[in-house]
Amino acid sequence: MSAPGSSGNEFGVNLPLDDDVASTCRALGISDSDRVLDVGGAGNAFSRANVVCDLTFASCIQRNGAPGVLRADVEYVEAPAECLPFEDNAFDFVWCTQVLEHVLDPEAACRELARVARRGFVEVPSRLGEMTSGNPTHRWIVDVDNGVLVFRPRPFVDHPLRNVWYGLMYRDEELRRLTEHDYRNVFNHQLAFEGDLPCRVEGDDGARFDYDDPDQAGRAHYGFARNVLLAGAEPDYGLPDAIEAVRLLPRSESARLLLAGYLARLLRLEEAQAALHGLASAGAQLLAATVARLESGEAVDLRGLPVPGPDAGAANVDDPALDRPSVSVIVAGDDPIELLVSAEAALTQDYGPLQVVVASTAPLGDGASRLHMGDRLCVQEHPRGTPLATLINRAALAANGEMIAFLMAGDRPMAHHVERAVMYLMIADKSAVHTDRLLVSGDVAGPEIIPGNPATAAASLSTLVARRSFLEDVGFLDESVTDAELEYLVRVAQTGRLGHLPEATIESPHPVPAGIQVLDGARAHARMRPLELHRSLIAASEREAGLRERVSQLEARLRELDEGAS
């Protein structure tokens, strides 16, 4: 069924989804009074949706690394598309784009979409889109036969055409616009439906890709990250997949080398060195030497950095410390609105084994009820006036994670905060890590936690992630001091076991500066989180300044030699 009022091209109906929401609603016949459900929109929800339902708000890897985005006027529900927790015809319209190719049972998912809404719109990659671009998390190849969605199991782990289109698009903005806008219907199937959403599954008796197998999934993410890097896409684009490859294949030296190469290209040199920690191969030594040259300010052509081979299992690192730990995020405070903001931000972390413990001196009311997050959310209510240090200590006693992260009410970590911190702790010789903080002004404050001099610390406990065993040795927060949070950070720093990731990961609870909003808009088109882009720009400026200083030093040395010769 064609979308009413939608535009087209020589290949048929085409609905460019990056148009304004009013145009999209007109094309699909969505009225102002319609109740709309978005299924699978945790990272890029349809802005007209009243309810957003997704399998999980904790992991963003299925969304190409895009972090979860939550709004106060929207209800969020965690549930699989195959079993939606809504009554029949509970919605006037259901929106489901780039989702069905991920699900375990597409027939059940299509039945559920048609059951809970009278009408809807579905978009899935076409065979052409899958074969030219593809995605490591897709389970199905989808065709359309006389208006029926036909799902066939994806028969490969490694992409046959090496995801070649991504590099082409990201080197040519006009080609990207044509692919994602003017000819979107060539690379995707777009179906508006009313009543039933017909589909069938075929060819389910042969070889198939099993994304639930960590080895296959890790290989797929590794291949994708390697392919797009070699194809010419910007390093920010494949970084989430390089991280996921290491998460799934923590003992793969190839995956660690690939991630270190990505980080080096982004001038995140300390993290690159951490990723190389413990690797002794010739490739690792070459990359470590190159990173050291970059750290010294030497001019290095980043395009020449080594890229490991296509086999993610070519070499393995024998290190039991790389097993995936569980994490508990402690959220503490006395303002229910700010607590809810921070709890939502914690629940949208792109880290799977995660628990959120909220310690509050005020009831969260109906706000917490719209976070249907199952067993991952634990809410503690304490008497009004309970000190913040006491709230944190009591929440720590209830936390069950092998690692502990902290959030003060109102702080919002970027979706990769826990993921990156845990990865750092898994491969670096540290017991705790802190990151930078984005201030209200939009400036990035690097925490200088100097033992014995708390006045120099521009830090927040919200930047800290640490091993539970380490924190147990350090002890609880001192409930008798005025600034227990800062005193605790100083105490942690005094152990010498605290590392630093030099990137801002905490958003201000206040209105975000216009400059950052511009970067946030760019993220939707470039898969770049705004603060990662901000960090890249800062690093580029620092590198440019370092090169200028190096050139000045060389010129001065040449002048000295000339004067000596004369």
We report the CATH number of the domain holding residue 38 as: 3.40.50
The C-alpha torsion from 212 through 214 and 215 to 216, rounded to 10°, is 30
C-alpha distances out from residue 93 to 2, 45, 112, 116, 375, Å = 15, 14, 13, 9, 30
Question: What is the DSSP annotation of 205-263?
Answer: TS----TTSHHHHHHHHHHHHHHHHHHT--HHHHHHHHHHHHHH-TTBHHHHHHHHHHH
Helical axes 530-565 vs 514-526, angle rounded to 10°: 100
Into how many domains does the chain fold?
3
Q: What is the pLDDT of residue 189?
A: 95
Q: What is the pLDDT of residue 203?
A: 85
Assign 491 a pLDDT band (cuts: 50, 70, 90). confident
Calculate mean pLDDT across residues 68-87.
Answer: 79
Neighbours of 372 (CB within 10 A): 15
Q: Which of 290, 319, 348 corresponds to the end of one domain?
A: 319
State which amino acid sits at residue 437. R
Residues 225 and 346 in one domain: no
Do 65 and 76 contact (CB within 8 A), yes or no? no
Calculate mean pLDDT across residues 481-499.
Answer: 85
Q: What is the pLDDT of residue 5?
A: 46
Instruction: Detail the DSSP E strand segments found in 302-431.
Output: 327-333, 354-360, 371-372, 377-381, 403-408, 412-413
The C-alpha torsion from 398 through 399 and 405 to 411, rounded to 10°, is -50
Interatomic CA distance for residues 228 and 307, integer angstroms: 12
Residue 208 included in any domain: no
Query: By mean pLDDT, which of 88-97, 399-408, 446-455, 521-530 is the weakest?
Result: 521-530
Assign 145 a pLDDT band (cuts: 50, 70, 90). very high
Residues 428 and 447 in one domain: yes
Assign 368 a pLDDT band (cuts: 50, 70, 90). low
State which amino acid sits at residue 15. L
Identify which of 135, 122, 123 has the alpha carbon closest to the alpha carbon of residue 62.
135
To which residue do tokens 């609905």 refer? Answer: 15
pTM: 0.76
Interatomic CA distance for residues 124 and 98, integer angstroms: 5
Assign 529 a pLDDT band (cuts: 50, 70, 90). very low
Helix or strand run (H / E) with residue 282: helix 282-295
Q: Residue 464 pairs with which residues in a beta bridge?
A: 434
Residues 267 and 301 in one domain: yes
Residues 63 and 163 in one domain: yes
Q: What is the pLDDT of residue 533?
A: 41
Residues 343 and 420 in one domain: yes
Residue 71 included in any domain: yes
Q: What is the pLDDT of residue 470?
A: 93
Is the pLDDT at 6 greater than 50? The verdict is: yes
Written as six digits, the tokens of 477 are: 């927060």
Interatomic CA distance for residues 338 and 410, integer angstroms: 4
Interatomic CA distance for residues 550 and 384, integer angstroms: 58
Identify which of 44, 47, 46 has the alpha carbon closest to the alpha carbon of residue 57.
44
* pLDDT mean across residues, the chain: 81
Residue 503 included in any domain: yes
Calculate mean pLDDT across residues 361-368.
Answer: 75
Written as six digits, the tokens of 458 are: 């521009």
Q: Which residues contact 562 (CB under 8 A, 6 or more apart)?
A: none
Highest averaged pLDDT of the listed ranges 239-248, 453-462, 542-551: 239-248
Query: By mean pLDDT, which of 13-22, 127-136, 156-165, 500-509 is the weakest?
Result: 500-509
Interatomic CA distance for residues 51 and 445, integer angstroms: 36
Question: What is the DSSP annotation of 504-518?
Answer: EEEE-SSPPPHHHHH
Q: What does DSSP assign to residue 557?
A: H
Interatomic CA distance for residues 268 and 47, integer angstroms: 34
Assign 420 a pLDDT band (cuts: 50, 70, 90). confident
Cβ-in-10-Å burial (0-12, 13-18, 19+) of 22 comes to: exposed
Assign 154 a pLDDT band (cuts: 50, 70, 90). very high
SS3 377: strand
Residues 187 and 262 in one domain: no
Identify which of 100, 174, 176, 192 has the alpha carbon closest to the alpha carbon of residue 132.
176
Is the pLDDT at 544 greater than 60? The verdict is: no
Helix or strand run (H / E) with residue 456: none
Interatomic CA distance for residues 184 and 164, integer angstroms: 17
Interatomic CA distance for residues 563 and 560, integer angstroms: 5
Residue 29 included in any domain: yes
Query: Could you give the angle at the alpha carbon of 300 between the alpha carbons of 296 and 304, nearest 5°?
Result: 140
Interatomic CA distance for residues 489 and 452, integer angstroms: 11
Residue 377 included in any domain: yes
Residues 364 and 252 in one domain: no
Residues 459 and 418 in one domain: yes
Residues 152 and 243 in one domain: no
Query: By mean pLDDT, which of 69-73, 231-235, 319-323, 541-545 is the weakest?
Result: 541-545
Is the pLDDT at 107 greater than 90? The verdict is: yes
Interatomic CA distance for residues 504 and 539, integer angstroms: 13
Written as six digits, the tokens of 117 are: 């809404």
Is the pLDDT at 386 greater than 70? The verdict is: yes
Q: What is the CATH number of the domain that holds 391?
A: 3.90.550.10
Is the pLDDT at 88 greater than 90? The verdict is: yes
Across the chain, how many H-helices and E-strands are there? 19, 21
Residue 551 included in any domain: no
Do 406 and 461 contact (CB within 8 A), yes or no? yes
Q: Which of 201, 226, 256 corresponds to the end of one domain?
A: 201
Query: By mean pLDDT, which of 51-65, 150-164, 360-374, 527-541 is the weakest?
Result: 527-541
Is the pLDDT at 432 greater than 70? The verdict is: yes
Is the pLDDT at 410 greater than 70? The verdict is: yes
Assign 318 a pLDDT band (cuts: 50, 70, 90). low
Q: What is the pLDDT of residue 59?
A: 58
Cβ-in-10-Å burial (0-12, 13-18, 19+) of 352 comes to: middle
Q: Which of 319, 354, 386 corresponds to the end of one domain?
A: 319
Q: What is the pLDDT of residue 526?
A: 30
Calculate mean pLDDT across residues 27-31.
Answer: 93
- In our burial notation (b when 16+ CB lie closer than 10 A, e otherwise), range 169-193 reads bbeeeeebeebbeebbbbbbbbbbb
Residues 375 and 487 in one domain: yes
Calculate mean pLDDT across residues 132-154.
Answer: 94
Highest averaged pLDDT of the listed ranges 58-72, 78-92, 103-117, 497-511: 103-117
- φ, ψ dihedrals at 56, nearest 5°: -155, 145
Residue 260 included in any domain: yes
Interatomic CA distance for residues 439 and 459, integer angstroms: 10
Calculate mean pLDDT across residues 404-423.
Answer: 83
Residues 464 and 347 in one domain: yes
Residue 440 included in any domain: yes
Calculate mean pLDDT across residues 163-182.
Answer: 87
Tens digits of residue pLDDT in 437-482: 766 555 566 666 665 555 455 568 888 999 999 999 999 998 888 8
Domain that holds residue 187: 8-201
SS3 172: coil
Residues 94 and 180 in one domain: yes
Query: Could you give the angle at the alpha carbon of 277 between the alpha carbons of 275 and 282, nearest 5°?
Result: 95
